[in-house]
Amino acid sequence: MPEKIKNYTYEELTRLLSEILDQRIMIMDGAMGTMIQQLSLDEQAFRGELLKNHRKDLKGNNDILCLTQPDIIYNIHLDYLNAGADFIETNTFNGTVISQTDYNTQHLTYDINLTAAKIAKKAADVVSRQTGIPRFVIGALGPTNKTLSISPSVERPDYRATDFDEMSDSYMEAIRGLLDGGADILMVETIFDTANAKAAIYAIDCAFENGYRRVPVFVSGTIVDKSGRTLSGQTTEAFVTSVSHKKPFCLGLNCALGAKEIRFFIEALGLVTPTYVSCYPNAGLPNTFGDYDETPEMTAKYLSEFARDGLVNIVGGCCGTTPDHIREISNSVRSFAPRKFRTDLFHNVLKLSGLEPMYIRPDSLFANIGERCNVAGSKRFARLISSGQFDEALSVAKKQVDLGAQVLDINMDDGLLEGEICMKRFLNLVCSEPEIAKVPICIDSSNFDIILAGLKCCQGKCIVNSISLKEGEKDFLEKAKILQRFGAAVVVMAFDEEGQAADYKRKVDICTRSYNLLVNEIAFDPNDIIFDPNILTIATGVEEHNQYGINYIEATRIIKATLPGARVSGGVSNFSFSFRGLDVIREAMHSVFLYHAIKAGMDMGIVNAGSLPVYDDIPKDLLLLCENLLWDKDPLGTEKMLEYGQKLKSDGGRRMEIDESWRQSIVDKRIEHALIKGIDKYIVEDTEEARKCTEKYPRPLNVIEGPLMNGMNVVGDLFGSGKMFLPQVIKSARVMKKAVAHLIPFMEKEKEELLRLGNGNKAKVSHKGTIVMATVKGDVHDIGKNIVGVVLACNNYNIIDLGVMVSCDKILKAATEHNADIIGLSGLITPSLGEMIHVASEMKRTNCKLPLLIGGATTSRTHTAVKIAPRYNNPVIHVLDASKSVAVVGALLNDSLRDDFVEDVEEEYVEIREDYYDSLKERKYFPLEIARSKRPQINWTDTIPVRPSFLGRKIFDDYNLEEIVPYIDWKPFFDVWQLRGKYPNRGYPKIFKDKNIGMEAKRVFDDAQRLLRDIIERKRLVARGAVAYYPARSNMDDIEILNEDRSDVIAVLHGLRQQVDNGSSSQGLCYCISDFIAPKDCPCKDYIGLFTVSAGFGVDEICSEFMENNDDYSIIMTKALADRLAEAFAELIHERTRKEFWGYDTDEKLNAKDLHSVKYKGIRPAPGYPSQPDHTEKMTMWKLLGADELGITLTESLAMNPAASVCGLYFANAASVYFAVGKITKEQIDDYCKRKNMKLETVEQWLSPNLAYEIE
């Protein structure tokens, strides 16, 4: 009697699969269709005895063979299993009702799937018993031959050949058969339309809900070409977001492309996938006959590279692959560890998607939800929909997106409309317009049936607006479960059984109750919860309504502080409804309301994208009226606003008479005004007038660099300070583009004339070699790279400078396109070291043979030898500075010198590596507790910290550069130019006396003074910054930032402690930055300061001007001066902190030299530097400082942008000193991970230069 076939419980199977996948890469089978085609079965074979009299031809219906030729399918399964497959897929790729209808065998769908699962299960069980290795059956759910997102009719883009319910039912029949037949796993595969996949996932969830055995779910998409998109237009990242709501056990890609072509997309998918990743590509691309030429060895080679690089957990084959392919693949990946993934990848992130992904993070800017596609809010849209002009209505949606709407709100609630039909038709049309469909959709309706109709049309992850507790908890949770099944985020209104919440306490109570129900009762993802605490109308004449704005803002502040992950939204137009018909007043009120609500934590709002005035541009009298209404400061505020409305010069009582007094200004000012206001009516004629002012603007380009860029700089300032919103910025950009478009023909003509004049005068340049240079991804610093480029160019090398923040693929692509001889990488911050390692690894993987040069302030010969060189099998050379670059490049490109030079470097690197690892063995470290016991002993009992003169932030906008200049430390300036005097003439101004470089130093210095004077007089650079002071206390190695009354911890700064045992004495101290803040058990009240400053605003504009003249010298000079000004700005603000803002050393009297020698009291260490080498601490600082509002931002590697920026912490205690953390042990890293709540691999990546151990 045969043994019973094993059926796992869900918990057993997920645990078993996880155990295996954490140990090794698992193998999927190859193409069933390829094997069947090789048998050349005829029509009779497909029919078999069972269907010999069937009315339609069945040849090509591979799935029917499960019923008519089960032995053939069974043997193919055995072949794949014996080749090494851990998973075999059922022969049900077309086993859905929809697909089987083509053969008139839809009535057999359940039987096909049931039998297919049984056949596969039997084969898997046989091989499992024979080998002792468990094998698993995947129930395959193919894409069907119809699409939910694409019309089969060009003439009718809103038409669909099927609908969501039919698609879901079609899948359900297959799912039932597969589960009844014993499938271990269900896989929705070869997804070319994500909406189809969502229908399948919906059906799977319904099956589980209705009592069917729960199994793990795999999802695999199909990228149709090198664009990186599915057939229905989604990017890889958007696809992942759209199908992740039911937490598939494994996500991956298959079909359409070969392994070579699919690699980039698998890598991209892995970066956004917090679970296992699978890849089973075709055997290359099909040839002209539709066959696949890639041999098993070729496919295996590509996939082994995926495995080697940690990209995959499961691999296999699709079209064209055979058991021989699977055998080779299995052997080739056996020695590689499986991909590791981060489960916290999207912690506290709201993920949405249209054709493209949208991530709303805690630090994201306000998201505009376009409101005009609402029949209740837009008369024009309502008229178009009611008259059936859906194509014209589509233009309303397009305009909203063009004007900056990041989400599109669609509402069809009108008693005279068939809401469900209208919603479905309009969304189908939206799907056909990529420029609209790229953004996520917000389906807005009070009718839940209309919401469902909308959800069934969208392939992306939507927002649903809204549900509430109005009908009680049961109704609320039932609707929430349905939305959860569709994968939608949900807006929850502040309504309950008693009605709408008006005061902030009830708003918060209802939202808290709703949050707890959703999260605790049905495990709704907190990140998918968006609260609308009701923006209600103020200034109605009813006194209690006057507090509505205040209540919303206060409720928002509390919700964001107490309900983790939740977002806050609202319909902004409600706020001003009392003044309907007076659009000028309403739009000003909206702008003022948003200005304050966003600061309180409002994440998004339904607004008319493009109809918000700039906060600073609201007339002062109107602004005061709006502020008084919002904050209920004036009992007569409503009457005064009504009086203001009566005084408006209007057009039908709606719009103010257009003020064109600005047209009387000079042309520069007219252009600036047009840019800020987004007025394009006169921009062409004004630009032409400026172009004709040849004395002022000799070239067309000067118009762009002058008045146009000046105007856009103002726009950027306003946007950065939160006084201008994205839609206005986009309108400004449109005006700019219109002006530039007018200038382009004149610029082209100028270029042709210059070329004509140059003909015959210039010989063809013959370069010594071509070098591609780049500052690596995440880093914005390029002064050193620019200097190296100039030096090499002067020595007749062709320099291809790719700029800053350049990704690995762009670097390698450029090297190929330009036929480069050498690649040079630069970086200033420590995370750049990791990116350089990645580039070296990719160069090896792609078989690149070019030498790799490494340079930049954070790099070193030791790091290059130990960490980078071993990742690449061709020369890797650390270049100390520009002076060494010519010799290095010359040796590498000289056939007679190259081999000896490379051999010498490699021998040196071997010695460096040996010394490095020997030193790690010899070095001793204190255990963490011992190190903590060696912290400096500060007498806190007798210490009375000084309270800063203010708590919170202070902003510096356009700080006077004249005040900053005296604080410049000129020594680093000369270091940039590699001008170093010899003792006793090393420093400034002694360097001018050096007999070798003194004269050159003086010349460069004089050039710098001339440029600096020009910058100041013409205000070509802008200095901005912020300081903040907070109550603080230390808690072991952490610093807790407190609110003003010290009752709550609002943020935590984490420190690292020295652990190196120098063996000098048992009294040696082990410092941590937290040592300099009074501990929490101490009665004294201590404080901490934070700052960030930048002098880099305007650098790019100046450099662009010099670039037009090929003036590299002035470009480098500009950036060097901006860096010096930024450091001087930091010095000045620190002095003001000590003497004025904090005032802990008001009697200080130090000159510039004393300041540069750090003779002041206290310190200002920065994250990423020796006293706290972890750059991720900047993220906490940025939130406390609001640095993004200033335009000082962080790159993905946490470099500051603009590059000429400085940040740090202020410590006032006299005992505080600078120190270097140095190497730290795994014990402290583990402790640090727990304190920061970060994954070990993430912390190790950021702190790799400080690890006293090698990462496995």
Q: How far is CA 1228 from the centre of its chain?
A: 30
Instruction: Write down the catalytic residue from 184, 528, 779, 1112.
Output: 779
Task: Catalogue the long-range contacts made by 1226-1233 (C-beta closer than 8 Å, 24 or more residues apart).
Answer: 1226/1251, 1226/1252, 1226/1253, 1227/927, 1227/928, 1228/928, 1228/931, 1228/1056, 1228/1057, 1228/1059, 1231/928, 1232/1054, 1232/1056
Cα-based torsion angle of the residue sequence 329, 332, 334, 339 in order, rounded to the nearest 10 degrees: -80
SS3 1139: helix
| 3-class SS letters over 1146-1213 | CCCCCCHHHHHCCCCCCECCCCCECCECCCCHHHHHHHHHCHHHHCCEECCCCCEECCCEEEEEEECC
Catalytic status, residue 779: yes
Beta bridge partners of 1093: 1025, 1206
Look at the alpha carbons of 542, 546, 549, 550 in this order and tell me if their dihedral is positive or negative.
Answer: negative
184 catalytically annotated: no
User: Could you tell me if 163 and 169 are in contact, meaning their C-beta atoms sit under 8 angstroms apart?
Assistant: no
Q: How far is CA 566 from CA 347, 527, 572, 1186, in A?
A: 12, 6, 19, 21
Cα-Cα end-to-end distance for the chain: 49
Q: Exposed, middle or buried, 508 (CB in 10 Å: 0-12/13-18/19+)? A: buried
Q: Where are the beta strands (DSSP E) in 913-1066?
A: 924-925, 952-959, 1022-1035, 1038-1042, 1049-1054, 1060-1061
DSSP track, 679-748? --SSHHHHHHHHHH-TTT-SSHHHHIIIIIHHHHHHHHHHHHTTSS-HHHHHHHHHHHHHHHHHHHHHHH
- Helix-then-strand count for the chain, H and E: 47, 37
C-alpha 313/C-alpha 337 separation (Å) is 9
Q: Are 530 and 490 in contact (CB under 8 A)?
A: yes
Mark 667-684 as b/e (b = at least 16 C-beta within 10 Å).
Answer: bbebbbbbbbbbbbebbe
Contact assessment for residue 1052 and residue 1041, using Cβ atoms and an 8 Å cutoff: yes
Q: Which residue has the tokens 């003074």?
A: 1009
Tokens describing residue 327: 């055998």
Candidates 304, 832, 885, 1205; catalytic one: 832
Query: What is the phi/psi pair of residue 1086, to 5°?
Result: -105, 170
Active site residue 1231: no
Q: How far is Cα 247 from Cα 582, in angstroms, rounded to an integer? A: 49
Distance between CA atoms of residues 1110 and 275, nearest Å: 50
Given the residues 781, 863, 878, 1054, select the one marked as catalytic. 781
Instruction: Return d(Cα 462, Cα 441) in angstroms, integer.
Output: 5
Instruction: Count the neighbouring beta carbons within 10 Å of the beta carbon of residue 426.
Output: 23
- Return the structure tokens found at 504: 């902030």
- Judge contact between 400 and 370, C-beta under 8 A: yes
Q: How many CB atoms lie within 10 A of CB 562?
A: 12
Helix ranges (H only) for 490-630 are 504-516, 522, 548-562, 583-600, 620-630
Q: How many CA atoms lie within 13 A of 1112 on its CB side?
A: 16
* Residue 1029: burial class (beta carbons within 10 Å; 0-12, 13-18, 19+): buried
Beta strands 1193-1194 and 1022-1035, pairing class: unpaired
What distance in Å separates the CA atoms of residue 1014 and residue 395, rounded to the nearest whole number?
49
Q: Which two tokens stand for residue 181?
A: 């037949």
What's the rounded Cα separation, in Å, for the pair 393 and 391?
5
**Is the separation of the CB atoms in 1101 and 709 below 8 Å?**
yes
Q: Which residues are catalytic?
A: 779, 781, 832
